[in-house]
């Protein structure tokens, strides 16, 4: 009996590797993948039809699952919207932070951030930030999202201030200039149609050129 | 008897001028004033709280009337929103048309239109155009409003083309430049707070300056 336990433990281990059930870490990963698919699909529908006009049934139908299946991944429609908007805003903040860490001249950082902003507002979650008003959410849930938005605004103001300090751009009011740049870029999320000739890169190029040179810029 | 009718007609006429009822033309005028008050109040509430979160009861309460009174002036909440958005868009189109009729250089017309745009998106109806998504409305009711929006976009593209032709601005893609200008100005309707230090005139001045000169503009 004293020698058998190690053998049986070994057989048990072998049996586990061929189990028809997925290992816990793999399960968590699959669950997260599915949760992300629920959120992306919801964001697409919100952006196409609006938040009110999208039901959990619509989201479930597009994913070929039943409504009860959705509840395994998300709590309710409000929580889905919050997650979509938070995800869009956090991706933007991460992009801005990575740009800051990469260093370099403020003007180059500002241009990189404008590219990041344009790319994100043309993606599902970023588009949600722009197209779905936060008045759709209960007042007490808006504070966290507004704080993230304020973080993005502050980052743009800091970059504009730094650009003026470096004499890379003309003196200006950083607040109003940040609003103007962000406003123009936000609105891309309103009119952008995926798959068209105007790619996010082309849009960013044109906007950056006009913002930098001005309309009067290079007159012939 | 043959002389009395003229006398009695005269007395009847005098009585009518002191009638406690208002004359028909005056009544129509008062009704229109009240209808406008309903629409303005509704627009203010939509802009503050969102369309879904505003009820006809809220609108009635702010006007100190009962909900049934509202139905004398408007059909339902959808119709109120349509009227508010239509009014904002039409005021903008009228401003653009007046600018065109006044004539002058395309660049001056473009600048005037940018000022008009900024002023209107900071007013109740114009703010509604920006803050309330048209996905709140039944699909069949959006077409008319989208046509008005398209008219404004086309007017901006025409002006930009004319500016390039006059060599007043650098060559550019009129579509993307119109989207960029309109986008930046639209977004003012999202963040503008009435009564603040940033008046619509100051905002327009700053935006026009940056759009014309560019951020690189007048570096020191």
Model confidence pLDDT, tens digit, residues B151-163: 999 999 999 999 9
Q: Which residues contact B202 (CB under 8 A, 6 or more apart)?
A: none
Tokens of A181: 């740049």
Q: Is pLDDT of B150 > 80?
A: yes
Model confidence pLDDT, tens digit, residues A183-211: 999 999 999 998 888 999 999 999 999 99
- Write the CATH number of the domain with boundaries B23-213: 1.10.357.10
Q: Which residues does chain A have within 8 Å of residue B183's beta carbon, measured at their own beta carbons?
A: 183-188, 190-191
Average pLDDT over residues B34-52: 96
CB within 8 Å of chain A, chain B residues 8-67: 49-50, 52-53
Kindly indicate the confidence band of residue A14, based on its pLDDT and cuts at 50, 70 and 90: low
Model confidence pLDDT, tens digit, residues A137-178: 888 889 999 999 999 999 999 999 999 999 999 999 999 999
Average pLDDT over chain A, rounded to an integer: 90
Task: Give the number of other CB atoms < 10 A from CB of residue B180.
Answer: 25
User: What are the CA-CA distances from residue A25 to residues A21, A28, A31, A51, B132 (Å)?
Assistant: 12, 5, 10, 34, 44
Tokens of B141: 């009711």
Q: Which residues contact A212 (CB under 8 A, 6 or more apart)?
A: A111, B214, B215, B216
Q: Report which DSSP code applies to B196.
A: S
Is residue A151 a contact partner of residue A90, using CB atoms and an 8 Å limit? no
| CB–CB contact A214 B213 (8 Å) | yes
Kindly indicate the confidence band of residue A220, based on its pLDDT and cuts at 50, 70 and 90: very low
Task: Give the number of other CB atoms < 10 A from CB of residue A166.
Answer: 11
Interatomic CA distance for residues B29 and B181, integer angstroms: 38
A218 in contact with B at a CB cutoff of 8 Å? yes
> A66: distance to nearest CA of chain B, Å?
26
Q: Which residues contact A191 (CB under 8 A, 6 or more apart)?
A: B179, B183
Interatomic CA distance for residues B202 and B210, integer angstroms: 12
Q: What is the pTM of this model?
A: 0.85
Interatomic CA distance for residues B138 and B141, integer angstroms: 6
Q: Choose among B133, B169, B173: nearest Cβ to A206.
A: B173
Q: Is A153 exposed, middle or buried (0-12, 13-18, 19+ CB in 10 A)?
A: middle
Interatomic CA distance for residues B110 and B99, integer angstroms: 9
Which of these, B190, B140, B180, lies nearest to B157 by C-alpha position? B180
Task: Give the number of other CB atoms < 10 A from CB of residue B11.
Answer: 9
Q: Is pLDDT of B107 > 60?
A: yes
Interatomic CA distance for residues B202 and B190, integer angstroms: 16
Is residue A183 a contact partner of residue B203, using CB atoms and an 8 Å limit? no
Among A51, A134, A187, pick the best mutation site for testing chain B contact (most B Cβ within 10 A). Answer: A187
Interatomic CA distance for residues B148 and B155, integer angstroms: 11
pLDDT value for B14? 55
Kindly indicate the confidence band of residue B3, based on its pLDDT and cuts at 50, 70 and 90: very low
Pick the CATH number of A24-213 from 1.10.357.10, 3.10.105.10, 3.40.1380.20, 3.90.1150.10: 1.10.357.10
Q: Is A110 exposed, middle or buried (0-12, 13-18, 19+ CB in 10 A)?
A: buried
Model confidence pLDDT, tens digit, residues A101-148: 999 999 999 999 999 999 999 999 999 999 999 888 888 889 999 999
Q: Is pLDDT of B77 > 50?
A: yes
Kindly indicate the confidence band of residue A20, based on its pLDDT and cuts at 50, 70 and 90: confident
pLDDT value for B27? 87
Sign of CA dihedral A196, A110, A215, B146: positive
Kindly indicate the confidence band of residue A19, based on its pLDDT and cuts at 50, 70 and 90: confident
Is residue A60 a contact partner of residue A70, using CB atoms and an 8 Å limit? yes
């Amino acid at each position: 009996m004293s020698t058998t336990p190690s053998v049986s433990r070994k057989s048990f281990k072998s049996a586990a590797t061929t189990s028809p059930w997925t290992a816990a870490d793999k399960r968590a990963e699959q669950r997260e993948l599915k949760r992300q698919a629920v959120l992306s699909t919801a964001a697409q529908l919100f952006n196409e039809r609006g938040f009110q006009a999208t039901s959990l049934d619509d989201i479930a139908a597009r994913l070929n699952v039943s409504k009860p299946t959705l509840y395994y991944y998300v709590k309710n429609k409000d929580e889905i919207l919050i997650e979509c908007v938070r995800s869009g805003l956090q991706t933007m903040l991460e992009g801005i932070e990575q740009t800051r860490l990469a260093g370099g001249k403020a003007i180059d950082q500002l241009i990189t951030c404008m590219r990041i902003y344009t790319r994100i507002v043309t993606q599902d979650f970023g588009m949600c930030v722009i197209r779905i008003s936060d008045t759709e959410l209960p007042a007490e849930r808006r504070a966290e999202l507004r704080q993230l938005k304020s973080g993005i605004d502050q980052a743009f103001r800091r970059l504009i201030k730094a650009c003026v300090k470096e004499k890379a751009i003309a003196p200006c009011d950083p607040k109003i200039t940040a609003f103007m740049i962000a406003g123009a870029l936000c609105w891309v999320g309103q009119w952008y149609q995926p798959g068209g000739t105007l790619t996010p890169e082309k849009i960013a190029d044109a906007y950056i050129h006009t913002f930098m040179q001005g309309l009067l810029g290079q007159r012939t």
